[in-house]
Structure formats: C-alpha cells, structure tokens
Structure 1
Amino acid sequence: MKKFLCFLCVSMLVVSCKKNDKIVKDAEEIPLTIEVDRYDKAFFESKPQDLPKLKAKYPDFFPSGIDEKYLAEKMVHPMWRQLYQEVEKRYSNFDAQKTDIEKLFKYIKYYYPETKTPKVITVIQDMDPDYKVIYSRDKNVLIISLELYLGKDHKFYEYPNYQKKTFEPTQMLPDIVESFSHYIVKPPSERDFLSQMVYAGKQMYLKDVLLPETSEEDKICYTTEELKWCDDNDVEVWKYFVEENMLYSTSSKLTQNFIAPGPFSKFGMDNDKDTPARIGVWFGWQIVRSFMENNNVPVQKLMLMDAKEIFQKSKFKPTK
C-alpha cells in the first residue's frame, strides 16, 4: 500500500511538472512586444519653454487645473534634477525591465487572451508609495514611477523601513500584477476577515501563475526569515484566529492589524515586533493554494469565486 501511494504521488508530481512545462512553453511563445515611452527622460531633458510641446505629446499628464508653473520649476529644481540623475544611474537602459514586462504580459495573455498589450510609460512623480504602478485597462497604459524602485537603502527615501523594502527593483513585477489584479480578482462581497484574507490570497496566487520565476519572498515582499516565521508559527497563529472568533468577524481592526501594510502584525502581545506584517495575506495565500491543489478549477474561475466556498473546499490546515 505504501509503495502504491508513493508511486501515485510521484506520478501526480510528474504530471504536474509536465503541465507546468507546457504552460511555460505555450505562454512564452506568444508573440508580443512592449512599447516603452520614457516620459521621465522627455520631461527632465526638456526646458521650461518646451512645456507646450510636452503638453501636446502627453496630454494625460497635463490635466485641466494643473499648475504649469510648478512643472516648470520641477524641471530645473536641484533636488528633482538630482533624483532624475539617480533614476538614470539605475534605469538609463530599461531593456532588461522591458524584457521582463513582456514575459509577464505573455503569461497574462495566456490566461486572459483578451488583454491588450499596454504601452509602458515611465515617470518620475511625487514619490507617493500608493502610486508606484498604475495599470489602466481603459487607456491601455502601464505607468511606472521609477523613483520608487531605487532600492530600500537609497538616500532619498525618508520612509519607515517596512515601506522602504517595497522600493526594491524586484518589486516592480509583483506591483504590476497587483495593479492588474484589480481588473481580474472579484472584490469580496462580504466584510468579514476571512473574505479579506481570501481576496488577498487570490491576488497572491495570481502572482504564482503570472510570475513563475519570481521568488516567494519577492511575491509577498517578505525576507526569508519572515517566511520561515510564518511556516514555523502557522499552527499557533491559525489557532489564535479561530479561538478568538476572528474568521467571520467584520471588525475593520482585523484588516488593519493583519492585512494592511505595517511594520509587524498586531496581536496585542509583547512579542508583536517579532512577527511579519500582513500575516493575514500569507494565510489567504495558503488557503487559495490549498484550494487549487485540491480542486480542478481554472484560474479565471478562481478569481471570481466566493471566499467561503474557496475556504470550505480548500481543505486548508496548517502544516506544523
């Protein structure tokens, strides 16, 4: 019996690997070319008197009411000029990033063939972490704020450490997927904590399928130590969620404590600072992964399913 079960597991693993190999082959053979427009270069290599020309070429960056005097000053201000120079040091040649984005959109087209290939526009905006990447399906553009991908230790970043680590260049592709996911992943219809976790878990699983070569750490923006903490403490944390009746609670505090970005997860205990932030996102990810391992459901259908159905059919159970 043990020999049979071992043979069955190996056979399933071989089938899974062959399936994944076929997906990789089929996806990466999709013909696709990304056009990159370097608005950051166009802006900072222009002079204030060239603003009318820029406005004619890039009308979306000149909405009504914008202070063109501010833009003219931005072009020549020493601090903005220095920031542009720092961006140029890292991204003067954007070819490697262009190749990576093309590969990503090949996978997107594999799973969502109706998706149009967007135009990529690189910018230097106002260092707002909420707008690192903007994907617009309506306008068919992907806007990337390069000033927010200079590396967590860059001298220009005056942010908390938990935010600065999201400014690594390796976060660019996961950020693109997250922005794309807003068009794909159905928002939760209920406000309970479980629904919020599973929604975040779907977004993470989308990174699994669209970024197969990206590390676990980069997908969730964790260190290796933080991932290990989750693996080592999953039983205790899950038991805490269940015993405290949190799963079906609609308290907004749970989202703030366990899903929203922050320096750590907030259990209200003395050792909270030793925990990774967004532990609810990690659990949602494991629930969705468990569901997909135990159910034959296309990715497209998964993204539209109800959180409670996913949880009930996931057979999720902490592993330790």
Structure 2
Amino acid sequence: MRFLFAVLMVFCLFFSCSDKKQQQIDVSKVKVDFSVKRYDVDFYNATTESLLKVKQKYPYLFPDAFTDSLAFAKINDKEEQKLFAETQKIYADFNDEEKQFSSLFKHVKYYNPKFKVPNVVTLLSNIDYENRVIYADSLMLVSLDVYLGKQHQFYADYPKYIKENNTKKHIIVDVASAIIEQQVQPSNKRRFIDKMIYEGKKMYLLDSYLPEVSDQEIMGYSEDKFNWAIANEEQVWMYFIDKKLLFSTDTKLNQRFLDNAPFSKFYTDQDNLSPGKIGVWLGWQIVNSYMQHNDVSLQELLKMDEDVIFTKSKYKPKR
C-alpha cells in the first residue's frame, strides 16, 4: 500500500511538472528597463560625509522625522549591524536575483503590455515578515532580512509555516504576488466557492509569471504539506460538498481554508497534517481546469465571473 502511494505521488508530481512546462513562453524579445538599488548597503555603510548622498539617492526613505541623528543611531546600532552582516553573507552578490526580476517583469509585460516595470530597492525591515515586499507604483521595496533561510537563528521563535518562506528562492514569489495583488480586482462575491476561484485566479497568474518556479514554492508549502495537498485533493473536495460549504457565505471559512495558517481546519484529530489555505490550492486547480477546457486569454480570465469559471471548468479532483 505504501509502495502504491509512493508511485501515485511520483505520477502526480511528474504531471504537475509537465503542466508547468506547457505554460512556458518565449519572452526573449520583451524589453524591460529597471534598476536594482541596494539601499541596505548604501545606508549601513554611510558615514557623516556620505549620508547626504544616500538621502539624495533615496529621498522617499527619509521622511522629515527621520533626522540624521536617528539615522546614525540606527547605522551604529550593534543589532542592526549584525542583521546587515548576516544579510550580506547571502546577498552581497545580487546578480541571480536581478536575473529573476528581469524574467518576471518580462513575463508580466508579455501578458500585460501596459505594465510599468518598477525599480527594485533592497532594504532591511527588522524582519517585518508581514511586509516582506512593498509595491508602490514605480518602486518595489524588498526586505532582504526576511529571506535569510528557514533555519536561520534570527527566526528561531517564528512559526514553522512562516519560516518555510523565509528563503532566498521565495523572494521572486513574493515580488510577483505583490504585482498580482494590484492586477486582480477584488471580488465582491461572498460564497466560499467564489472566494476559492478568486484566489485560484491569482495562483494561475503566479504560475504564468513564474514558469520556472515549482507549484510547491508558489503555494509556499513544505514538501510534506504539498504532498498532502496532492494526495488528498479528492477527499478535501468531497468534504466541501458533504458539509455544504461551497455555496456557504460563512466568513469563518476564510480562516479555516483560505488564510495563511499552519494547517487547514476540518475539525479532525489529523488537521495538523494538512497545509493551510487548502481552499486556495483547490481554487487554483479549478482555474487550471477552466483554462484547459476554454480558449480564454489571461486578461480575459481576470475579468471572468467566478460562477462562470466554476460552471465551465469541468473540474474533477485528481484521485
């Protein structure tokens, strides 16, 4: 039985990878122009002579209340310098990340030619994991101290499901997610199935923008949680049907199945084996099924009513 399960898992993962390869497109001719500025390096290396140049280079990071004395208190703080030193161990060379940004921006622009490519600014935020990336019009602010690796000592007291995404390879996922949050219009639908599909739209967009990134990384799951999601897709779907949750407007379902969490809440003694936001995963599968069965562009998908997507998706959970 265990052998059969292992074979099924390999089978599922193989076809998951195959689906992703089918989505890859040629963006080599798409032109993007952007800069990557290292505010973290410029700021923490600043001296009394060079601080003025740093302020002139990054005026948006120096509000009037942030005086020179406060700036130097921050620069000379031992804990701040320790955080900067740990970040530099990993991100002194930022070339790989810059290439990832370029690929992402090209994919976004391919699907949305009107997309204005932002300039990227790296900084430290004292590990503010709730604001890992801030996207504001022409700027993309990235807090590098949130991405030191899930085993890093600075994250010792953080929940495991949070630490799982405090990694170098998750930067590009968070940057893409910040862009998508501004591209997908909020839904006013209240039914659980509509909310699932709304989240599924965003995941489909992530997958399209990041064809080289695995489904597991896009979802932000650990390997065991991702395997659980694949292996239990049909059981979860049947649970939603049996409990009459799909068309429910109970807002508590958001917390149970859509919000980022250590696990989803089925109210069983094995809930801790499941990943959080399992409703997002199923919503993505429904949107995948819809796109496979309908000739629709990505931009048309974003405008499509969730009820239409569900009806025409012909979704059948994988067994």
TM-score, normalization: structure 2?
0.88
Cα distance in structure 1, aligned partners of 2:194 and 2:75: 46
Cα distance in structure 2, aligned partners of 1:108 and 1:213: 14
CA positional deviation for 1:67: 6.3
SS in 2 for 1:142: strand
Conservation of the 8 A alpha-carbon contact between 1:135 and 1:143:
yes
Cα distance in structure 2, aligned partners of 1:87 and 1:170: 14
Equivalent residue for 1:152, pick from 144, 150, 155: 150
The Cα offsets for residues 255-300 of structure 1, whole Å up to 9 and x where unpaired, read as 1111111111111111111111110110011011011001111001
Give 1:87's aligned amino acid.
T
The Cα offsets for residues 60-111 of structure 1, whole Å up to 9 and x where unpaired, read as 1123444664433211111110110011110001111101110111111100
The Cα offsets for residues 32-66 of structure 1, whole Å up to 9 and x where unpaired, read as 34311100011100136755443333221123444
Between 144-153 and 55-64, report the one with greater CA deviation.
Answer: 55-64
SS in 2 for 1:292: helix
Cα distance in structure 2, aligned partners of 1:183 and 1:277: 23
Cα distance in structure 2, aligned partners of 1:67 and 1:251: 48
Conservation of the 8 A alpha-carbon contact between 1:37 and 1:121:
yes
Conservation of the 8 A alpha-carbon contact between 1:177 and 1:206:
no
Q: Percent identity?
A: 37
Cα distance in structure 2, aligned partners of 1:312 and 1:49: 65
Cα distance in structure 2, aligned partners of 1:245 and 1:48: 65
Between 244-253 and 101-110, report the one with greater CA deviation.
Answer: 244-253
Q: CA RMSD in A?
A: 2.0
Cα distance in structure 2, aligned partners of 1:235 and 1:128: 37
Which ranges in structure 2 are unaligned for 5 or more consecutive residues? 1-17
| 1:20–1:234 CA distance, 2 compared to 1 (3 A) | closer
Cα distance in structure 1, aligned partners of 2:198 and 2:154: 33
Q: Residue 223 of structure 1 aligns with which residue? A: 222
Q: Residue 25 of structure 2 aligns with which residue? A: 24
Cα distance in structure 2, aligned partners of 1:274 and 1:152: 19
Cα distance in structure 2, aligned partners of 1:65 and 1:266: 44
Conservation of the 8 A alpha-carbon contact between 1:34 and 1:98:
no
Q: Residue 109 of structure 2 aligns with which residue? A: 109
Q: Residue 251 of structure 2 aligns with which residue? A: 252
Cα distance in structure 1, aligned partners of 2:136 and 2:304: 23
The reply to whether residue 88 of structure 1 matches residue 88 of structure 2 is: yes
Alignment of 1:42-191 (within 5 A): 42-47=42-47, 51-66=51-66, 69-137=69-137, 140-157=138-155, 158-191=157-190
CA positional deviation for 1:317: 1.5
Conservation of the 8 A alpha-carbon contact between 2:256 and 2:265:
yes
Cα distance in structure 1, aligned partners of 2:123 and 2:29: 30
Conservation of the 8 A alpha-carbon contact between 2:196 and 2:283:
yes
Conservation of the 8 A alpha-carbon contact between 2:293 and 2:314:
yes
Query: Across the two proteins, how many residue pairs are aligned to each other?
Result: 300
CA positional deviation for 1:216: 1.2
Which ranges in structure 1 are unaligned for 5 or more consecutive residues? 1-15
Q: Residue 242 of structure 1 aligns with which residue? A: 241
Conservation of the 8 A alpha-carbon contact between 2:264 and 2:277:
yes
Cα distance in structure 1, aligned partners of 2:172 and 2:161: 19
TM-score, normalization: structure 1?
0.88
Q: Residue 35 of structure 1 aligns with which residue? A: 35
